């Protein structure tokens, strides 16, 4: 599609952030050397090596857990809840003050557009700390049982799609409820977590309250399986979630899992089409589709299918794919070569199985990891692209005739994380929502998040909730 006007480049400056040549682990309030083989973290848009990051061994993890236990017993646990809240408020304010620095670093390390890092990820991360800071001295009034008490040491493993935001989702409720933390960020996106360690120092957070141990899968397994970890929280793939559930089974560890998804975005014939198309685009192409609750299955009522698909293709033709540091960019880079290979593999299955693939015209950058926004039509519920989580900018379109058929097709998945409904009839929205087996259902919008609202799934999308009053429960026990 020909643009009505040309965009001039509007690049964000890299000079706002100072990336160190190498980083250690953050243990007991200090940066220390790791004993594992260091990893290189790269900019997925250019394949440029950004820094060398330490890898935590079992010995390093043990050191971090011991520091967290010591802080829990001597400092953080006995501290007045109101004082704990003050630290969280301080962290939230520092995140706001250094928001531009965090946004630039997130985009460089992750590949997402700077506009999303700046306007979504960083503000929401700060909002989670503000929200949970307010709960710190009000837990007895949260309706979570009498005399709620912290569990102890929380071992947390987060993914690469929202590195800073997932850190906030995990760390903020753990600290607000009086627990201490050992966090393992994703191996491809560790830099904002390490910058957050500097925030902890700047806030004068007591040593050992937050510990950050970088590394790959072995480091994460060491955190989860450590015998002195009381609570495990994981966000990531369903496959890894299953292995964690097996590892924790039979122990006294509490566990929450936020895993994959294959969300249905349902468009009825009375939906406002232009508004729905914007929601569809946001639902699947936000963060390059690297979203576990992405609306990757589009269910359109048969009578408006052609109109919706034509309007959707016109809108996709206006999306700008390219330099994530450009403020005009809509889709950035795929996070890694490994993820790009998986997206290509699954889209190849889509064409082999008979679905029709459509992509907009235009060239992709020569260097980096890139994939065009993609729409599959003529999709059957049996196709792999309709069943498997692609975790990329790939949309599968199917049709339905009746609301009952829409519900049946939406629930025909092993996942149950989220869904969307587009209709002008409030009664229809409420009735269909009640029938959907999904943890979050959006009505006439998609991918809207708020720290006051619980988030989580059913079936193979995991269990437990994060955010809201319900998210506090996972980090508390009752002594009575």
SS3 281: helix
Tokens of 424: 């002008």
- Whether 9 maps to a domain, the answer reads no
H or E stretch at 231: strand 231-235
Domain around 170: 14-258+459-478
Question: Is 421 among the domain residues?
Answer: yes
- CA-to-CA distance for 10 and 198, rounded, in angstroms? 29
Same domain for 148 and 52: yes
Q: Cα(297)–Cα(281) distance, rounded to whole angstroms?
A: 12
The CATH number given to whatever domain includes residue 195 is 3.40.605.10
| 233 & 353 share domain | no
pLDDT tens readout for residues 77-109 = 999 999 999 999 999 999 999 999 999 999 999
CATH number of the domain bearing residue 364: 3.40.309.10
Same domain flag for 378 and 312: yes
Residue 289: the pLDDT is: 98
90 DSSP 8-state letter = H
Is residue 135 scored above 60 in pLDDT?
yes
Confidence check: pLDDT of 479 > 90: no
Taking residues 207-234, report their average pLDDT.
98
- Does 286 lie in the same domain as 248? no
Return the pLDDT at 2.
52
pLDDT value of position 264: 98
* Whether the Cβ atoms of residue 420 and residue 265 lie closer than 8 Å to each other: yes
Q: If you average pLDDT over every residue of the chain, what do you get?
A: 97
CB 129 within 8 A of CB 92: yes
Q: Is residue 5 part of a domain?
A: no
Confidence band (pLDDT; 50, 70, 90) for 6?
A: confident
Evaluate whether residue 3 is within a structural domain.
no
Do 231 and 283 have their domain in common?
no
Does 336 lie in the same domain as 237?
A: no
pLDDT digits (tens, 9 = 90+) for 270-303: 999 999 999 999 999 999 999 999 999 999 999 9
In a domain, 451, yes or no: no
Q: Is residue 2 part of a domain?
A: no
Mean pLDDT over residues 198-211, rounded? 98
pLDDT of residue 3: 57
Strand partners, 421: 266, 443
H helix intervals, 249-291:
273-285
Together in a domain, 271 and 393: yes
Tell me if 122 sits within 8 A of 112, measured CB to CB: no
What is the CB neighbour count within 10 angstroms for residue 198? 14
Same structural domain, 357 and 409: yes
Other CB atoms within a 10 A radius of the CB of residue 414 amount to 13
Q: What is the DSSP letter of 398?
A: E
Indicate which residues carry an active-site annotation. Answer: 258, 292
Greatest alpha-carbon span in the chain: 67
Q: How does strand 22-23 pair with strand 297-301? A: unpaired
Answer whether 298's CB lies under 8 Å from 376's CB: no
Average pLDDT score over residue span 63-68 = 98
Query: How confident is the model over 411-460, as pLDDT tens digits?
Result: 999 999 999 999 999 999 999 999 999 999 999 999 999 999 999 999 99
Amino acid 145: pLDDT:
86
Q: Are residues 122 and 176 in the same domain?
A: yes
Please tell me whether residues 316 and 198 are part of one structural domain: no
Q: Tokens at residue 151, please?
A: 């569990």
Whole-number percent of the chain with pLDDT over 70: 99
Our count of domains for the chain comes to: 2
Cβ contacts of 69 within 8 Å, gap of 6 or more: 152, 153, 180, 228
Residues 278 and 417 in one domain: yes
7 occurs within a structural domain = no
pLDDT tens digits, one per residue of 365-423:
999 999 999 999 999 999 999 999 999 999 999 999 999 999 999 999 999 999 999 99
Q: How far apart are the first and last CA of the chain?
A: 65
Separation of alpha carbons 82 and 60, rounded Å = 32
Instruction: Please indicate, yes or no, whether residues 317 and 276 belong to a single structural domain of this protein.
Output: yes
Could you tell me the pLDDT band of residue 4, with boundaries at 50, 70 and 90? low
- Tell me what the mean pLDDT of segment 169-190 comes to: 98
Q: pLDDT tens digits, residue range 37-48?
A: 999 999 999 999
312-337 average pLDDT score: 97
- 380, β-bridge pairs: none
In a domain, 454, yes or no: no
**The dihedral of CA 191, 194, 198, 204: what is its sign?**
positive
């Amino acid at each position: 599609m020909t643009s009505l006007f040309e965009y001039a480049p509007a690049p964000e400056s890299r000079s706002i952030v100072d990336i160190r040549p190498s980083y250690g682990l953050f243990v007991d309030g200090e940066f220390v050397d790791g004993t594992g083989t260091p990893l290189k973290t790269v900019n997925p848009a250019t394949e440029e090596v950004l820094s060398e990051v330490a890898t935590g061994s079992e010995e390093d993890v043990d050191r971090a857990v011991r520091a967290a236990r010591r802080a829990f017993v001597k400092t953080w646990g006995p501290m007045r809840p109101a004082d704990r809240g003050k630290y969280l408020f301080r962290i939230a304010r520092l995140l706001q003050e250094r928001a531009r620095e965090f946004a630039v670093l997130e985009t460089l390390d992750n590949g997402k557009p700077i506009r999303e890092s700046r306007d979504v990820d960083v503000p929401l991360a700060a909002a989670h700390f503000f929200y949970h800071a307010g709960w710190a001295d009000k837990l007895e009034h949260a309706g979570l049982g009498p005399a709620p008490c912290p569990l102890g040491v929380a071992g947390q493993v987060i993914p690469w799609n929202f590195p800073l935001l997932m850190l906030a989702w995990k760390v903020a409720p753990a600290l607000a409820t009086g627990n201490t933390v050992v966090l393992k960020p994703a191996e491809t996106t560790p830099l904002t977590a390490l910058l957050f360690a500097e925030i902890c120092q700047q806030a004068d957070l007591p040593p050992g309250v937050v510990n950050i141990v970088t590394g790959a899968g072995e480091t994460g397994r060491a955190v989860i399986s450590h015998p002195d970890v009381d609570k495990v929280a994981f966000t990531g793939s369903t496959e890894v979630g299953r292995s964690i559930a097996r590892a924790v089974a039979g122990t006294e560890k509490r566990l929450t899992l936020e895993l994959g998804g294959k969300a249905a975005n349902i468009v009825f014939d009375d939906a406002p089409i232009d508004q729905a198309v914007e929601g569809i685009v946001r639902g699947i192409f936000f963060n390059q589709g690297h979203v576990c609750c992405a609306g990757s299955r589009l269910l359109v009522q048969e009578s408006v299918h052609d109109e919706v698909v034509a309007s959707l293709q016109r809108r996709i033709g206006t999306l700008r794919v390219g330099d994530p540091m450009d403020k005009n960019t809509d889709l950035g880079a795929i996070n890694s070569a490994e993820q790009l290979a998986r997206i290509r593999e699954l889209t190849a299955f889509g064409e082999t199985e008979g679905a029709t693939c459509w992509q907009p015209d235009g060239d992709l950058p020569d260097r980096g990891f890139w994939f065009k926004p993609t729409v599959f039509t003529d999709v059957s519920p049996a196709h792999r692209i309709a069943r498997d989580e692609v975790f990329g900018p790939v949309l599968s379109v199917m049709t339905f005739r009746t609301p009952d058929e829409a519900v049946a097709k939406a629930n025909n998945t092993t996942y149950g994380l989220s869904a969307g409904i587009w209709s002008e009839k409030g009664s229809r929205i409420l009735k269909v929502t009640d029938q959907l087996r999904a943890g979050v259902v959006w009505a006439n919008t998609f991918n809207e998040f708020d720290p006051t609202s619980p988030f989580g799934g059913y079936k193979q999308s995991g269990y437990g909730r994060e955010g809201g009053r319900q998210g506090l429960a996972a980090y508390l026990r009752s002594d009575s």
